[in-house]
């Protein structure tokens, strides 16, 4: 990667990624809006600062691994990958279409750089544990395994099997970023199946837990750096995000979890994003 980007540059990229997401979903006519928009800052931080990766050599043997466990949020990953140079941005508009490499849920074999196939929830963390364990066996110490997962996703038992396993095996190269946006398809997480006391749960499973504002790019970058300093335990970063972040009429509304914008809604959303609406933090500093 080139030299570090400034916070303002990163925030502008996150905004571009949000525009791409809105446009992709509108053209696709189906897909999830809230999660990908809420995750734009985290994916910008990952692809443009945190991750050791090479868009021109996706299989680079020394790369960090990023597993997207909640596969329905993949539009944000596609948008970030295109911006980072993995493929041409024009391809973003093929999302969910027949023959596209950009499947509705990510399929590893179709697009270099995806690392895994996901969609059915709860399976990413254990795959990360398998990779981390293999690296540990082979004494590979310089590669980190990032997992992005949803909060609603942690209803799944497989997640806690993996959490117990990773804690027991001290898989400290795992950095799990949990998108704590408080919504899932049927409503707020605390009404569907309460997750709190969330931090205590992860700690009880042998994890070091950090809690951050997941829409603050600087906080995401700092938390990933802090996570690397924890050498005895895997680290969970509970990243509080605003679902639908950046588009006022989508923010906090769980109805946007599994819905794409129609043409009018997309136009309105894009107008809002393009004028920035005072949403770039560094502008105010």
Partner 1 sequence: MSNIALVDLNKEQVTREPIRKGFGRGLEKAGHVEPNVVAACADLTESTQMHLFKQSFPERFIEVGIAEQNLVTVASGLAAAGKIPFVSSYAAFSPGRNWEQIRTTICLNDRPVKIVGSHAGVSVGPDGATHQMLEDLALMRVLPNMVVIAPCDSIEAEKATLAMVSDPRPNYIRLAREETPVITTAETPFVIGAAQVFESGSDVTILATGTMTYHALLAADLLYKDGIEAEVIHVPTLKPLDETTIIKSLSKTRAAVTAEEAQINGGLGGAIAELAAEHCPVPLKRIGMRDRFGESGKPDELMVYFGLDAKHIRLAVHEVMQKKGN
Name the nearest CA neighbour of 30 among 112, 116, 102: 102
Between residues 3 and 139, which has the closer beta carbon with respect to partner 1?
A: 139
Q: How far is the CB of 128 from partner 1 (least distance, A)?
A: 6
Question: Which spans of this chain sit near partner 1 (rule: CB under 8 A)?
Answer: 65, 107-109, 115-120, 122-123, 126-135, 137-138, 157-158, 161-162, 164-165
Between residues 87 and 165, which has the closer beta carbon with respect to partner 1?
A: 165
CA distances from 218 to 9, 11, 49 (A): 12, 10, 10
Between residues 127 and 189, which has the closer beta carbon with respect to partner 1?
A: 127
Q: How far is the CB of 151 from partner 1 (least distance, A)?
A: 19
Q: How far is the CB of 17 from partner 1 (least distance, A)?
A: 26
Q: How far is the CB of 103 from partner 1 (least distance, A)?
A: 10
5: DSSP letter: P
Would residue 136 be called left, alpha or beta, if left means φ above 0 and alpha means ψ between -120 and 50 degrees?
alpha
Between residues 125 and 210, which has the closer beta carbon with respect to partner 1?
A: 125
Between residues 62 and 283, which has the closer beta carbon with respect to partner 1?
A: 62
CA distances from 211 to 26, 114, 241 (A): 33, 26, 11
Q: How far is the CB of 225 from partner 1 (least distance, A)?
A: 24
In our burial notation (b when 16+ CB lie closer than 10 A, e otherwise), range 86-116 reads bbeeebbebbbeeebbbbbbbbeeebebbbb
Q: How far is the CB of 135 from partner 1 (least distance, A)?
A: 6
Residues whose CB is less than 8 angstroms from the CB of residue 103 and which lie 6 or more positions away in sequence, other chains included = 74, 96, 110
Between residues 80 and 162, which has the closer beta carbon with respect to partner 1?
A: 162
């Amino acid at each position: 990667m080139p030299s570090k980007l400034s916070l303002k540059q990163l925030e502008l990229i996150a905004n571009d990624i949000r525009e791409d997401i809105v446009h992709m979903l509108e053209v696709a006519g189906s897909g999830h809006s809230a999660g990908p928009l809420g995750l734009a800052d985290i994916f910008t931080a990952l692809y443009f600062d945190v991750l050791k990766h090479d868009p021109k050599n996706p299989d680079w043997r020394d790369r960090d691994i990023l597993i997207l466990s909640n596969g329905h949020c993949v539009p944000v990953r596609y948008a970030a990958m295109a911006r980072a140079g993995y493929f041409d941005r024009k391809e973003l508009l093929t999302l969910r279409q027949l023959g596209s490499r950009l499947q509705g849920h990510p399929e590893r074999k179709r697009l270099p750089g995806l690392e895994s196939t996901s969609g059915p929830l709860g399976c990413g963390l254990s795959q990360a544990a398998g990779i981390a364990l293999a690296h540990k066996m082979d004494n590979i110490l310089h590669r980190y395994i990032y997992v992005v997962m949803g909060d609603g996703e942690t209803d799944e038992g497989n997640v806690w099997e993996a959490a117990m396993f990773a804690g027991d095996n001290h898989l400290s190269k795992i950095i799990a970023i949990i998108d704590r946006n408080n919504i899932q398809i049927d409503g707020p997480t605390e009404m569907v199946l309460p997750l709190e006391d969330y931090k205590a749960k992860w700690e009880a499973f042998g994890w070091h837990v950090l809690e951050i504002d997941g829409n603050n790019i600087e906080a995401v970058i700092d938390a990933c750096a802090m996570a690397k300093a924890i050498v005895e335990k895997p680290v969970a970063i509970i990243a509080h995000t605003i679902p639908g972040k950046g588009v006022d009429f989508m923010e906090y509304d769980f109805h946007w979890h599994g819905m794409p914008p129609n043409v009018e809604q997309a136009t309105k959303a894009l107008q809002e994003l393009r004028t920035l609406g005072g949403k770039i933090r560094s502008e105010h500093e």
